[in-house]
Amino acid sequence: MRVAVMGMGSWGTAFGMVMADAGNDVALWGRNDARARALTAEHENHAFHPGIELPPTMWASSDPGRVLDGAEIVVLAVPAQTLRENLTRWTDELPREAVLVSLMKGLEVGTLARMSEVMAQVTGRPDHQLAVVSGPNLAREIALRQPAATVVACADEAVAARLQQACMTPYFRPYTNTDVVGVELGGIVKNIIALATGMSEGMGFGDNTNAGIITRGLAEMTRLGLAMDADAMTFMGLAGIGDLVATCMSPLSRNRTFGENLGRGMTVDEVVGITKQTAEGVKSSQAVLELARRAGVDMPIAEHVAAVVHDGLAPRDMVRSLMTRDAKPEWEGE
């Protein structure tokens, strides 16, 4: 199929490579014309995946109309907080029958909209033309063609199955799901929990600490999902615990790395200054907390992470506050 990937960053490029390896004609859009021309000519994304050869069928352009022309699948891989603006700009050039696929794992600040909701609001597309991909998908490992699994979610099971076939390769195994809400929430919340495990790592704490954060983080993710009518089983799968473990534990995770730097004593502004890629959890944390409050869900880890990245709470004070909360049963209230 003809595939347009809107975004030439680390994950957009890696997923475009997957789809090209699966036999599709893949075009990438990027803002930087020189980088787009270099990728087309040299089959390499020097900025994000140096040394990795991309399929010769992949090409890139800074002209969105050219990239979108004739696309049957449009993959959206821009920073979450820029989606609405970018998609508004591209709407008239989007092929009418194309399925829109989100790779983004963020919640829009202000509206508290998930990315599929932003896609629907801006384009007016029905649910069967909106899909999301989420799971333990560290872009560098996938670009190296290491074995990985993911979830392709769409309200229409037949569309999800079609997308599944479009991105299945010997090293990339997608599973289908119709729980779009749960798959998206898993991808959003895990970034916030990864910030917390990163701070733990930066402060020199060990595996017991991180295991506790991950496990209680999963509880928070699941509670929020159930309040939003998601399927509890989604959080036991690749888009839930799978993505959570990978993002919290891997040094390739940009959210964990951001948290590590905070734990070592850097300020948020200092970490932003040295961070090459977007750490979605930083901007989404306050929005997730607002969503949880609207839903009447207690999310203490998310609340404390938001206090660190938005209100200046010191990571060590965050740990002290979390550890001295009232004692409670594991499964009865939080």
What's the confidence (pLDDT) of residue 4? 98
Cβ atoms of 19 and 89 within 8 Å: the answer is: no
What digits encode the pLDDT tens for the residues 91-114?
Answer: 999 999 999 999 999 999 999 999
Residue 332 confidence class, pLDDT cut points 50, 70, 90:
low
The Cα 325–Cα 113 span in angstroms is 30
Beta strands 148-154 and 130-134 are antiparallel
Domain ranges, ordered by start, for the chain: 2-178, 188-323
What's the confidence (pLDDT) of residue 287? 95
Cβ atoms of 244 and 134 within 8 Å: the answer is: no
Matching residue, tokens 């891989």: 77
What digits encode the pLDDT tens for the residues 11-41?
Answer: 999 999 999 999 999 999 999 999 999 999 9
What digits encode the pLDDT tens for the residues 211-258?
Answer: 999 999 999 999 999 999 999 999 999 999 999 999 999 999 999 999
* Other CB atoms within 10 Å distance of the CB of residue 70: 12
- pTM of the predicted model, to two decimals? 0.95
Cβ atoms of 52 and 176 within 8 Å: the answer is: no
What digits encode the pLDDT tens for the residues 128-160?
Answer: 999 999 999 999 999 999 999 999 999 999 999
Spatial CB neighbours of 196, under 8 Å, sequence gap ≥ 6: 213, 217, 259, 301, 304, 305, 318
* Token reading at 200: 């733990």
Cβ atoms of 156 and 179 within 8 Å: the answer is: no
- Active-site positions read 190
The Cα 279–Cα 222 span in angstroms is 22
What's the confidence (pLDDT) of residue 277? 77
CATH tag for 188-323 (out of 1.10.1040.10, 1.10.8.60, 3.40.50.261, 1.10.600.10): 1.10.1040.10
Residue 309: pLDDT over 70? yes
The Cα 92–Cα 95 span in angstroms is 8
Exposed/middle/buried for residue 320 (C-beta within 10 Å: 0-12, 13-18, 19+): exposed
CATH tag for 2-178 (out of 3.40.50.740, 3.40.50.720, 2.40.160.20, 3.30.479.10): 3.40.50.720
Give the rounded percent of residues in the chain with a pLDDT score beyond 70. 99
Q: What is the crossing angle of helices 254-263 and 280-295, to 10°?
A: 90
Residue 334: pLDDT over 60? no
* Other CB atoms within 10 Å distance of the CB of residue 315: 22
Spatial CB neighbours of 135, under 8 Å, sequence gap ≥ 6: 148, 149, 150, 151, 238, 239, 242, 243
